[in-house]
Structure 1
Amino acid sequence: MKKTGFSATKRMLAKITPEIEAKFATANRENAELIVDVAKVLIPEISGSSRGQIKNVAVEEGAQLVDFGPKAKVIEGGQAPRPFKNPAMKATHKKRRARNKKAIRDAIKAVS
């Protein structure tokens, strides 16, 4: 009989190989690049010089940090609605979620 639930999931995740971790890192990098690309399109023309400062930076263990530049708070108006960060996140949500689901699905297939 096949066990299901938390213990089975825990055993399955323990089998994750470096190749699978690389797939997750690739998915994270592609998601961050997508956010950066959309944010660069959405940044207001008046502050267009800040477009080049929007970038993603790789940090430890495949994580990505999206940096909207040193003037992001000035451009966005402190606590006011963020005219290019929040819309970029919302516009890319479905694509990012699908990419993450695919990485998880591939990982499960690889360890099953």
Structure 2
Amino acid sequence: MKKSGFEATRSMLKRITPEIEEQFALANRENAESVVDMAKVLIPQRSGTNRALIRNVAIDDGSQLIDFGPKAKVIEGERGPRPFVNPALSATKKKRAARNRKAIKDAIKAVK
């Protein structure tokens, strides 16, 4: 018996969920690395110490925590313009969105 459109869609969504989570974990890691790389280029401090403290940390659920270092609040201020965080996020925005779209497409292709 052939499944109806709704049943087929629901069945595919059940199969695709683990694949999407795996693909998003990879995309999140790559997105975090690109933000960290851009922030290291844009940080206004001349010292390499502050640059080296910018890093991302993987969390068990597949997400990434980007640590901009202990000097980030001193450089940026409490609600300052964030001279290397916001530009790093906006410079990588299109690439990060494209990487997320690709992760979804790859997950759909994998379960078909």
User: Which range moved further: 50-59 or 22-31?
Assistant: 22-31
How far apart, in 2, do the equivalents of 1:2 and 1:110 lie? 22
For structure 2, the residue ranges without an aligned partner over 5 or more in a row are: none
RMSD: 2.3
CA shift, 1:78, in A, is 1.3
Alignment of 1:54-93 (within 5 A): 54-93=54-93
Query: What is the TM-score when the length of structure 1 is the normalising length?
Result: 0.84
Q: Which residue of 2 aligns with 1:35?
A: 35
Matched length? 109
Identical-pair percentage: 64
Contact 1:27 1:99 survives alignment (8 Å) = yes
For structure 1, the residue ranges without an aligned partner over 5 or more in a row are: none
User: CA deviation digits over 1:52-98, x for unaligned, max 9?
Assistant: 11000000221111111112111111101100000000000010000
Structure ID, larger Rg? 2
Q: Which runs of 4+ in 1 moved over 2 A?
A: 1-4, 10-13, 16-23, 45-49
User: Which range moved further: 70-79 or 93-102?
Assistant: 70-79
How far apart, in 2, do the equivalents of 1:57 and 1:78 lie? 23
Q: Which residue of 2 aligns with 1:97?
A: 97
